Amino acid sequence: MVNILQRLDPRSKIILLLLLSIYLFAITSSSSFLLLSAFGILLLIITKLPLGYLLKRLFPFLFFFVFILAAHYANILAGLFTIWRFLLLVLFAAVLLWTTTISEMVSALEKLLSPLRFFVSPRDISLMVATAVRFIPLLMHETSQLRDAQKSRGLKKWRFRHVSQLVQGMLKKTFLKAGAIADALDARCYRDKNYTRYTILQISYRDIVAAFVIALVLVIDILKIQYL
């Protein structure tokens, strides 16, 4: 089943979740935290985001969280709030990633950068992101192949020169691959002017509703501060 967030324009998702995340750093009261957390949980339910997926995103931050707590040694409560902020931030980011395909992200990036087109080429940048997403896993795979090759030739104990061998091998491969990719781009007539796009992004009534919902959350929170 497609959920409403998957059907939003990726640009509005990025902007709205960004807005929410910025607001996250402005709040201080626990009631605000509760409100935003409730909203975050609502998002989790709507998007049916698996908890495992979320935990996987959170895992790299664990060390960071311990560090924050240690830094707030004198005021554990403040430390906990900071961690809570990051948890919500990761949650919003996970919702965005979960409901948006890579190519939607790339198209959105290209469109969002278009006001800057006199300084940078949005198509070049979005292509860079797209090729990175596609080729980094390939290069990682090749690195492990190279390492296996070293091991299969009897390498037991890693010494500096083995690491240096590995790095040199990978650099060489990367440059060769980059050359091949550049040729392949060229052969398919790549250009960053007078091109069209296959994926068309379109703002619909859903995006307006989403913007309204976010605005509502923020307004409720702000009013609550003034009237309570």
Partner 1 sequence: MIEVKNLSYRLKKPILQNISFSIKEGISVALLGHNGSGKTTLVKHLNGLLKAQTGSVSVDDLSTDWEVKKNVGFLFQNPDEQLFSSIVEEDIAFGLENLGEKPAVMKAKVKKILNSLRIEQLAQQDVNELSFGQKQLVALAGVLVMEPKYLILDEPFSLLDPKNKSNLISILHSLKTTLILVTNNLDDLALVEEVILLKQGKIVFKGKRSRLSKQILKKADMIG
Residues at the site binding partner 1, with contacts judged by CB under 8 A? 101-103, 127, 130-131, 133-134, 137-138, 177, 180-181, 183-191, 194-200
Closest to partner 1 by CB, 50 vs 137, is 137
Closest approach of partner 1 to the CB of residue 153, in Å? 24
Closest to partner 1 by CB, 82 vs 131, is 131
Q: How many CB atoms lie within 10 A of CB 194?
A: 5
Non-local CB neighbours of 208 within 8 Å, separated by 6+ positions:
none
As a whole number of angstroms, the distance between CA 205 and CA 203 comes to: 7
Closest to partner 1 by CB, 74 vs 187, is 187
Closest approach of partner 1 to the CB of residue 108, in Å? 14
As a whole number of angstroms, the distance between CA 136 and CA 120 comes to: 23
**Exposed, middle or buried by CB within 10 Å (0-12, 13-18, 19+), for 13?**
buried
Closest to partner 1 by CB, 48 vs 134, is 134
Asked if 128 and 122 count as a contact pair (C-beta separation under 8 A), the reply is: no
Amino acid type, 138:
L
Closest approach of partner 1 to the CB of residue 204, in Å? 17
As a whole number of angstroms, the distance between CA 100 and CA 113 comes to: 18
Name the 3-class secondary structure at 31: helix
Closest to partner 1 by CB, 87 vs 125, is 125
Closest to partner 1 by CB, 196 vs 226, is 196
As a whole number of angstroms, the distance between CA 68 and CA 73 comes to: 9
Closest approach of partner 1 to the CB of residue 95, in Å? 20
How is residue 200 annotated by DSSP? P
Closest approach of partner 1 to the CB of residue 46, in Å? 23
Closest approach of partner 1 to the CB of residue 11, in Å? 17
